[in-house]
């Protein structure tokens, strides 16, 4: 059986797939139609088992590749994380800031929200738009440390847990508090990038301390970052933040070959604004990008050139590339 590259695309109107069939990309009909899919992950043991975090609803699971879905958790979800080393371990971040953990692929859940909400700083967490309520926006696992997690609160900063989410400590020294995305170097767990509403930040000590890294980037709102296996970095910057988006809003895509110390504009031939970036787990030079208008692009040369592979009618929240078969 031949393998197929599949791009799982979570949008404001459901979950789509883009499958590469050899000569062209094929776009599926939407699963979870009408739902705001904010996160997606697959089981390493069973590619037909897909998990989707849905804003306002919680976590949904399918075991037949998306033909049928069951809701396994009811929360206002904002992010989803699976432990690649131990498939079945899942964490879901939600609004208000909370964390739910499953050790068995969503069959049972533990509410770990108390560890976050018990922090003294939680009293100051907020959000700049109605309902002015903070949320757990970003979850990341520290490589080679089974129970070490990073959690980004929007708006409230970055926190670290060494026990799978039971307890937390601040880990955002020098970092802007409006955190949007985290990315770790695939081969260097000490090197992280953080996308924030106030610029791009770099850490060289595993996320303990951070420095501003976007002096050469034109806009401060960094919507997404990617670090490729070669170490080349990509960052997408926007003119303004969600809630204030305007027609024909400007944005720019940047590349860095020196660990985010300097940046150069990337050759993205369309005027569309990139909102999401993700690498390909099977090809060191491949990277995917989605735009505010719902277009999906592929680069096969680390972001030097791009081709459109799909178009959706809804804004893309999340991308996941996987090899199936």
Predicted pLDDT of residue 2: 65
pLDDT per position as a tens digit, 276-288: 899 988 888 999 9
Whether the pLDDT of residue 28 is over 90: the answer is no
Which one, of 96, 101, 98, lies nearest residue 72 by Cα? 101
Whether the pLDDT of residue 315 is over 90: the answer is no
The domain containing residue 238 runs over which residues?
A: 4-324
CATH number at residue 24: 2.130.10.10
pLDDT per position as a tens digit, 44-98: 777 788 999 999 999 999 998 888 999 999 999 999 999 888 878 999 999 999 9
Alpha-carbon distance of 175 to 168, in angstroms, equals: 17
pLDDT (mean) for 21-27: 83
Predicted pLDDT of residue 241: 58
pLDDT per position as a tens digit, 203-224: 999 998 999 998 889 888 999 9
pLDDT-above-70 percentage for the chain: 95
Which one, of 96, 54, 93, lies nearest residue 72 by Cα? 54
pLDDT per position as a tens digit, 218-262: 888 999 999 999 999 999 998 765 555 545 567 889 999 999 999
Whether the pLDDT of residue 158 is over 90: the answer is yes
Predicted pLDDT of residue 282: 82
Which one, of 42, 53, 133, lies nearest residue 93 by Cα? 53
For residue 325, what pLDDT band results from cuts at 50, 70 and 90? low
Sheet holding 233-238, edge to edge: 221-227, 233-238, 251-256, 264-265
Whether the pLDDT of residue 21 is over 80: the answer is no
State the residue for tokens 């969503």.
106
Number of domains comprising the chain: 1
């Amino acid at each position: 059986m031949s393998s197929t590259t599949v791009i799982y695309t979570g949008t404001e109107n459901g979950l789509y797939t883009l499958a590469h069939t050899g000569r062209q990309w094929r776009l599926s009909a939407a699963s979870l139609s009408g739902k705001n899919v904010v996160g997606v992950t697959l089981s390493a043991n069973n590619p037909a088992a897909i998990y989707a975090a849905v804003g306002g609803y919680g976590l949904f699971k399918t075991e037949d590749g998306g033909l049928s879905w069951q809701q396994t958790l009811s929360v206002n979800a904002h992010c989803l994380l699976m432990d690649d080393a131990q498939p079945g371990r899942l964490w879901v971040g939600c609004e208000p800031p909370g964390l739910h953990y499953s050790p068995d692929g969503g069959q049972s859940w533990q509410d770990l929200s108390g560890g976050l909400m018990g922090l003294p700083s939680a009293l100051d967490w907020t959000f700049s738009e109605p309902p002015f309520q903070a949320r757990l926006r970003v979850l990341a696992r520290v490589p080679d440390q089974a129970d070490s997690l990073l959690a980004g609160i929007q708006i409230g900063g970055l926190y670290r847990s060494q026990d799978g989410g039971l307890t937390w400590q601040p880990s955002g020294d020098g970092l802007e508090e409006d955190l949007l995305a985290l990315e770790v170097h695939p081969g260097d767990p000490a090197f992280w990038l953080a996308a924030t509403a106030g610029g791009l930040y770099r850490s060289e000590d595993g996320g303990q301390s951070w420095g501003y890294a976007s002096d050469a980037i034109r806009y401060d709102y960094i919507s997404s970052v990617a670090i490729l296996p070669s170490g080349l970095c990509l960052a997408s910057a926007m003119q303004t933040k969600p809630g204030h988006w305007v027609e024909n809003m400007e944005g720019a895509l940047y590349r860095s070959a020196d660990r985010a110390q300097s940046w150069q504009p990337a050759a993205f031939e369309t005027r569309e604004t990139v909102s999401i970036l993700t690498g390909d787990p099977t090809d060191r030079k491949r990277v995917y990008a989605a735009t505010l208008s719902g277009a999906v692009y592929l680069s096969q040369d680390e972001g030097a050139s791009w081709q459109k592979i799909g178009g959706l009618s809804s804004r893309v929240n999340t991308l996941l590339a996987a090899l199936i078969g």
